[in-house]
Chains A and B, each alone.
Chain A
Amino acid sequence: MMQYIPYNIPFIAVALLVGIALFIIIFKRNLIKIVMGIAILEAGVNLFLVTLGYRAGGVAPIYTMTPEGAMVLPVPQALTLTSIVIGVSVIALMLTMVMHTYRHMGDIDARKSRLLKG
């Protein structure tokens, strides 16, 4: 039992990160905090993907001059890289929108920026 615990720590972290992120996105009213929530959610998902591909004692999946033994899975790492790149662009776009909202409304509180409702 005890020897499994270290391998499960990343998954516990994933659950915590995703939980915190969803809480922030749903309950916080500050637009910057919502952007931060999405960044945390993304970090949680990326951590999940990387952890999936990890093999205990594995080496990097580079085929030239590899030592003997297991390799960690390369595909989740490729997926994570793609997802990080996409995440950066999403967050950059969101921040520009927050900036424009601030220029128009003089505030980044979602409660005060309610032009659209009903």
Chain B
Amino acid sequence: MEYLTVHSPILIVAVPLLAAFVTPLISRMGNKVRDTFNVTLFGFTMFLVAILAIDIYTGGTRVYTLGAAVPELAIPENYMVPVRIMFQVDGISIFMGLTTTIVMLAALVYSLQFLKNETGQDRFYSLLMLLYVGMIGLEFTGDMFNLFVFLEILSIAGASLASYRTNLADAVEGGFKYIVISAVSALLVLFAIGILYGQYNLLSIAALANAMQFNTLDMIALAMLAIAFVMKLAGVPLHMWAPDTYAVAPAGITPMIYTSSAASMYALYRVTFTLYGGHFDTTAIGWVVIILGVLSMFIGVMMAIHQTDIKRLMAYHAISQSGYMLLGVGVGLAVLTDPVALASYGRDAMNGGIFHIINNALYKGMLFLTAEAIFFRIGTRDLNRMGGLGHNMKWTTIFFIIGALAISGIPPFNGFASKLLIYESVFRFNPLLSIIAMFVSLVTLASFTKVFYSAFTGPEMPAYKEVREVPRSMLIGMGIMAACIIFFSIFPGLVVDTIVAPATEALIDQASYINGVMGVAP
């Protein structure tokens, strides 16, 4: 047990990686064996994430150095700087790790029966595990170059999964768009890493943050990193790939790709807060993030209104919801250097923005799963050809209602909890932003009402008389998400205190991240 706790950061990456490469061999023994194997190994990974989370919430940031005699020993003897590869897991990393793990569990369980009649299943599970490894690695790493490597792993796995149904021409097109965007953004990240390495001869994030001088070259590197991550998280000027890719990816993969955008958002926060924190004019950069957020919110929802493809519509809503996260954290960034404002509303705004990440991964993921459940049964994503599905797909309808109410911020649900935090705190920063956020929320409700009426209500359509409820594993997958949403809705205060507040603290407190590796400054 002690051993597992000490080595959990690397095991969380290594166990799914093993599963990814052993899956094609195991599947020779039959699909049942393979599914059991994957679910078992993923269950073990979840257990590891849980013990790592408990360890971090009780004992603070964990540094795990690969190849060192003692994992905590970040800097080898006789060296001034960290040279080994390391994982550094703090509040925000483990928060993202928990989000990813919950979504992955739902996606894995959902896919078990969803894939029953497809070919190439063993490759699907291999790539799904690789996608998980990429996301977890991106969130846990404490090293710029590994950030690039894990970004590429998640891009390659994500793109090949998005175009998994190669028999559909649009799936290939969506996957190609995703891989082009991913390749360009990853190479921009690598270029920026090269610039930073050329100046400081360092790759560790903490050591780089410690040495940061913020000269012109650093500014260029910051711009490149920011463009790359905004591209990957589908913020508005660079969002064009997201609707295409989200719409065509098979079920289970859309929530995962969506969560991988959230992981890119984490990388953006890590770079702005931890790597560059305190060196630039935080008000100006904060406003840039806020404007990005407002644009994403507004344009995303406006584009969503007139869509007729159900998954495309939800994809535009996903862009719009990312805007809330950028808005909340952007307000925190804008007042980062002002202790009074930070204490009175900046921290709450960041709590709201970060809480929204996990809430959104849950309800948005579940909505994507319900959309794909409809596609699974009736073979179309076109809202104009749906109707009366509520008669036969009762559970899917219930899950859709929960998700739709949560995303629109209707009071008992978790979407309301995080949006309220954002509204209240942003109102004290700038009332106009808060009004825009509320307006966007209203339009979201209108748009989901439209989907609900055209897909689920109305008389039973003759073409869909024979439609049955989706198989059990798909219901369980959606049920896992619904259960988490309901839990988060009942105890929002508990969730904010236990997992969100440490995440905000980890972003604000740059010094403790640096000290975790460099040792306390004399």
CA distance A58 to B180 in the complex (A): 37
CA distance A49 to B166 in the complex (A): 36
The residue that B194 contacts in the complex, of A52, A89, A98, A104, with Cβ under 8 A, is: A52
Q: In this assembly, does B318 line the interface, its C-beta being within 8 Å of a C-beta of chain A?
A: no
Q: In this assembly, does A20 line the interface, its C-beta being within 8 Å of a C-beta of chain B?
A: no
Contact check, A100 vs B163: say whether CB atoms are below 8 A apart. yes
Of residues 64 through 90 on chain A, the ones whose CB sits less than 8 Å from some CB of chain B are 73, 75-76, 79, 82-83, 86, 89-90
Given A52-B194, A118-B307, are A94 and B187 neighbors across the interface (CB < 8 Å)? no
Q: In this assembly, does B243 line the interface, its C-beta being within 8 Å of a C-beta of chain A?
A: yes
Contact check, B176 vs A116: say whether CB atoms are below 8 A apart. no
Q: How large is the interface on A (under 10, 10 to 19, 20 to 34, 35 or more residues)?
A: 20 to 34
Which chain A residues lie closer than 8 Å to B244 at the CB level?
116
Which chain B residues lie closer than 8 Å to A97 at the CB level?
159, 163, 172, 175-176, 179
Given A34-B180, A116-B174, A116-B243, are A45 and B194 neighbors across the interface (CB < 8 Å)? yes
Contact check, A41 vs B173: say whether CB atoms are below 8 A apart. no
Q: How many residues of B contact A (CB 8 A)?
A: 39
Given A38-B184, A41-B187, A100-B166, are A89 and B174 neighbors across the interface (CB < 8 Å)? no
Residue from A76, A90, A97 with most neighbouring chain B CB atoms (10 Å): A97
Of residues 199 through 236 on chain B, the ones whose CB sits less than 8 Å from some CB of chain A are 201, 203
The residue that A113 contacts in the complex, of B156, B159, B173, with Cβ under 8 A, is: B173
Contact check, B197 vs A90: say whether CB atoms are below 8 A apart. no
Q: In this assembly, does B485 line the interface, its C-beta being within 8 Å of a C-beta of chain A?
A: no
Q: In this assembly, does A59 line the interface, its C-beta being within 8 Å of a C-beta of chain B?
A: no
Which chain B residues lie closer than 8 Å to A42 at the CB level?
183, 187
CA distance A89 to B149 in the complex (A): 12
Which chain A residues lie closer than 8 Å to B184 at the CB level?
25, 38, 41
Which chain A residues lie closer than 8 Å to B187 at the CB level?
38, 41-42, 45
CB-nearest residue of chain A relative to B199? Answer: A52
CA distance A104 to B167 in the complex (A): 8
Report B320 CB to chain A, min CB distance, Å: 16
Q: Mark A53-64, 1 if CB is under 8 A from B, else 0.
A: 000000000000
Q: In this assembly, does B190 line the interface, its C-beta being within 8 Å of a C-beta of chain A?
A: yes
Q: In this assembly, does B247 line the interface, its C-beta being within 8 Å of a C-beta of chain A?
A: yes
CA distance A52 to B217 in the complex (A): 14
Report B153 CB to chain A, min CB distance, Å: 8
CA distance A76 to B248 in the complex (A): 38
Which chain B residues lie closer than 8 Å to A93 at the CB level?
156, 159-160, 179
CB-nearest residue of chain B relative to A117? Answer: B244
The residue that B176 contacts in the complex, of A73, A86, A101, with Cβ under 8 A, is: A101
Given A38-B180, A52-B197, A118-B307, are A90 and B152 neighbors across the interface (CB < 8 Å)? yes
Which chain B residues lie closer than 8 Å to A86 at the CB level?
149, 152, 156, 186
Q: In this assembly, does B170 line the interface, its C-beta being within 8 Å of a C-beta of chain A?
A: yes
The residue that A90 contacts in the complex, of B183, B191, B312, with Cβ under 8 A, is: B183
Contact check, A94 vs B160: say whether CB atoms are below 8 A apart. no
Q: In this assembly, does A13 line the interface, its C-beta being within 8 Å of a C-beta of chain B?
A: no
CA distance A98 to B176 in the complex (A): 8
Which chain A residues lie closer than 8 Å to B69 at the CB level?
none
Residue from B159, B183, B306, B307 with most neighbouring chain A CB atoms (10 Å): B183
CA distance A105 to B409 in the complex (A): 42
Q: In this assembly, does B459 line the interface, its C-beta being within 8 Å of a C-beta of chain A?
A: no
Which chain B residues lie closer than 8 Å to A5 at the CB level?
none
Given A93-B159, A105-B169, A116-B173, are A45 and B190 neighbors across the interface (CB < 8 Å)? yes
Q: Mark A22-49, 1 if CB is under 8 A from B, else 0.
A: 0001000001001000100110010011
Q: In this assembly, does B395 line the interface, its C-beta being within 8 Å of a C-beta of chain A?
A: no
Q: In this assembly, does B59 line the interface, its C-beta being within 8 Å of a C-beta of chain A?
A: no
CA distance A31 to B177 in the complex (A): 10
Residue from B163, B180, B248 with most neighbouring chain A CB atoms (10 Å): B180
Contact check, B170 vs A100: say whether CB atoms are below 8 A apart. no
Q: Mark B141-162, 1 if CB is under 8 A from A, else 0.
A: 0000100110010011001100
Q: In this assembly, does A1 line the interface, its C-beta being within 8 Å of a C-beta of chain B?
A: no
Report B326 CB to chain A, min CB distance, Å: 24
CB-nearest residue of chain B relative to A78? Answer: B145
CA distance A45 to B193 in the complex (A): 10
A-B contacts, 13 listed (Cβ < 8 Å): A25-B180, A34-B180, A38-B180, A45-B190, A48-B194, A73-B201, A79-B145, A79-B190, A93-B156, A97-B175, A105-B169, A113-B169, A115-B169
Point out residues on A near B: beta carbons under 8 Å: 18, 25, 31, 34, 38, 41-42, 45, 48-49, 52, 73, 75-76, 79, 82-83, 86, 89-90, 93-94, 97-98, 100-101, 104-105, 113, 115-116, 118
Contacts A34-B180, A104-B169, A118-B312 given; 14 further ones with Cβ under 8 A?
Answer: A25-B184, A45-B187, A45-B190, A52-B194, A52-B197, A75-B201, A76-B194, A86-B152, A90-B152, A97-B163, A97-B179, A101-B173, A113-B173, A118-B306
7 cross-chain pairs, A with B, having the tightest CB-CB distances, nearest first: A104-B169, A116-B244, A115-B170, A100-B172, A97-B176, A52-B198, A86-B152
